[in-house]
Amino acid sequence: MEISKRTQQLGTENAFVVLGEVNKMLAEGKDIISFCIGQPDFRTPEPINNAAIKAINDGKSTYTASQGIPELRKAVADYYTRSRGVSFDPEHIVIGCGGKPFIHHTIASVTDESQGHEVIYPNPGYPIYSAQILAQGAKPVPLPLLEDKKYNFNIDDLKRKINDNTRLLILNSPQNPTGGVLSKDELYEIAEVVKQFPKCWVYSDEVYSELVFDEQFQSIAAVPGMKEKTVVADCCSKTFAMPGWRIGYAANEKLTPHITKWVTNTASCAPHLCQWAVVEALNHEKSWEEVRRMGGIFKERRDIIVDLLNQVPGFKCLRPGGAFYVWPNVSETCEMLGCKNSEELRERILKEVGVACLSDIHFGNYNEGEGQHLRFSYATSTEHIKEGMIRIKKWVEDNKN
C-alpha cells in the first residue's frame, strides 16, 4: 500500500526521538542524566489538580463547543489583557489541545497549496514550524537567528525575505531552542516591516511568556496596529507545569472562527475537565504563587548551568533571557575532540558520558558562520545539572587533543 508523499516528508520533534533512545538506555540499566526534553519537572499545583477532580465528580466529561467553554475563554482573555498590555475579548479566544495544534491551524488558515505562499520562521527554531509549513504546501523561508544579536534575527534580513507572497511570519519569544527574548524595541522594528504587507499575518508563539528572567515579557500584539494581524498563542504546559493536560489558547478576532473550524475538524474540542482545571489555574492567586516560585528556581538553574558550561573547554554559552534552554556554541570542542559536527559530539556525550542533550540539526538547517551548537534543557534538578556538567567537563579535559 502507498504512503502519501506529504506523510513521508513530514518532519518530527526530535526531542521525543532522543528521549526514546534515552529511555531504552535507562531500561538497560545505564546511568543517564537527561537534558533533552522541554517540560517542567514540577508537579502541577494542587489547586489545579483539585479543580480537575471536582470537574470529574461534577460530570464534566462531555464534548464542549469547539471554541472552548465560556469560562475558560473569559479567563484567557482576562489573562492576556493583563499580561500583554492590550485588551482581548473572550469571543476572540479559541481553546485547543495544547499549543502545538495552533501552528497547523494558523498556517492552514492563511496559506494555500501551489499558490506560492510563503511562511517566514526562525532558524534554529521549533521543528514543527517548518514541518507544518511544508505539510500545508507553503514555502518555508528560514530567518537566521544570530549569536551576536543574542539570537534575534537581523531586521535587514527580514526586509529582504518578506514580500507580497508572504502570508505569515512566525515569532517565538522566549525562544526554543536558544532562550532568546525579543525586546520591545525589536518588536516595534519588526512590526514596522510587517505593516507594509497587508496580506502577512504574524503567529506569535508565546508559550514561554511566564519564563522571562531579566526584563518584562513583551508581545508584538501590544504594538499599535499589530493586534489585528497577530495570532497570540500560549498554553498551560510550561507556565503551570501541565504538559500532559493538553490545553492551549489562541486569540485573533478575524481568524478565531477559522481556527475553531479546524478544531472541529480535528480534535472536536479540548478535554472538558482539563479546561476547568485551567480556569482554576488562570484565575486563582495560589496557582500564580506557584508559577512565580517555579520561575525563580528556573532562573537559579539557568545561572548555574551557564556558569558550569562556560567552564567546559571549548564551550561558549550566552546567558539566555527566558524559557528553560541553553544553546552553547561547541565549535571549538568539536575541533578539540575530532568531532565533525555537533551531532557527533552529542552522540559521544550520550554514549561515553551518560548525558543526553540535543544538537542543532534537530532545530533546522545550519546558519552560515554560526558554528556548532547543542541544546540543554535545564528543566531538571540542580543536582542533575551539576553532576551532568561535571561529567562533560572531565570527559572533554581527558579526551581533548
Regarding beta strands 166-172 and 118-123, do their DSSP bridges make them parallel or antiparallel, or are they unpaired?
parallel
User: What is the residue-wise DSSP string for 282-303?
Assistant: HH-HHHHHHHHHHHHHHHHHHH
pTM: 0.96
Do 313 and 242 reside in the same domain of the chain?
no
Which grid cell sits at 4?
A: 502519501
Do 163 and 293 reside in the same domain of the chain?
no
Do 175 and 320 reside in the same domain of the chain?
no
CATH code (residue 238): 3.40.640.10
DSSP-assigned letter for residue 353: I
Q: Which of 253, 286, 319 is the last residue of a domain?
A: 286
DSSP-assigned letter for residue 138: P
- How many C-beta atoms surround the C-beta of residue 7 within 10 A? 8
DSSP-assigned letter for residue 234: E
Do 168 and 80 reside in the same domain of the chain?
yes
Do 98 and 118 reside in the same domain of the chain?
yes
Domain holding 367, by residue range, is 5-43+288-399
Closest by alpha carbon to 372, among 361, 382, 380? 361
Spell out, as residue ranges, where the chain has pLDDT lower than 50. none
Do 71 and 183 reside in the same domain of the chain?
yes
CATH code (residue 318): 3.90.1150.10
Quick one: which H or E segment has residue 83? helix 70-84
Query: 292: Cβ–Cβ under 8 A, 6 or more apart, which residues?
Result: none
Per-residue confidence (pLDDT) for residue 392, from 0 to 100: 98
Do 28 and 90 reside in the same domain of the chain?
no
Per-residue confidence (pLDDT) for residue 8, from 0 to 100: 87
The answer to whether the CB of 65 falls within 8 A of the CB of 94 is no
| 279 inside domain | yes
Q: Which of 264, 286, 308 is the last residue of a domain?
A: 286
Do 249 and 328 reside in the same domain of the chain?
no
Please tell me the distance from the alpha carbon of residue 310 to that of residue 312, in angstroms, as a whole number.
5
Per-residue confidence (pLDDT) for residue 164, from 0 to 100: 98
Backbone angles phi, psi at 218, to 5 degrees: -125, 135
The answer to whether the CB of 328 falls within 8 A of the CB of 345 is no
Do 327 and 242 reside in the same domain of the chain?
no
Do 236 and 180 reside in the same domain of the chain?
yes
DSSP-assigned letter for residue 219: -
Do 269 and 123 reside in the same domain of the chain?
yes
The answer to whether the CB of 136 falls within 8 A of the CB of 303 is no
Q: What is the pLDDT of residues 325-338, one digit of tens each?
A: 999 999 999 999 99
Please tell me the distance from the alpha carbon of residue 197 to that of residue 168, in angstroms, as a whole number.
10
Number of domain units in the chain? 2
Please tell me the distance from the alpha carbon of residue 316 to that of residue 395, in angstroms, as a whole number.
17
Please tell me the distance from the alpha carbon of residue 69 to that of residue 75, in angstroms, as a whole number.
10
DSSP-assigned letter for residue 27: H
| 50 inside domain | no
| 48 inside domain | no
Q: Say whether 203 sits in a helix, a strand or coil.
A: strand
Q: What is the pLDDT of residues 143-167, one digit of tens each?
A: 999 999 999 999 999 999 999 999 9
Q: Which of 235, 252, 286 is the last residue of a domain?
A: 286
| 52 inside domain | no
| 353 inside domain | yes
| 49 inside domain | no
Do 341 and 250 reside in the same domain of the chain?
no
* Residue ranges of E strands in 29-154: 33-34, 93-96, 118-123, 139-144
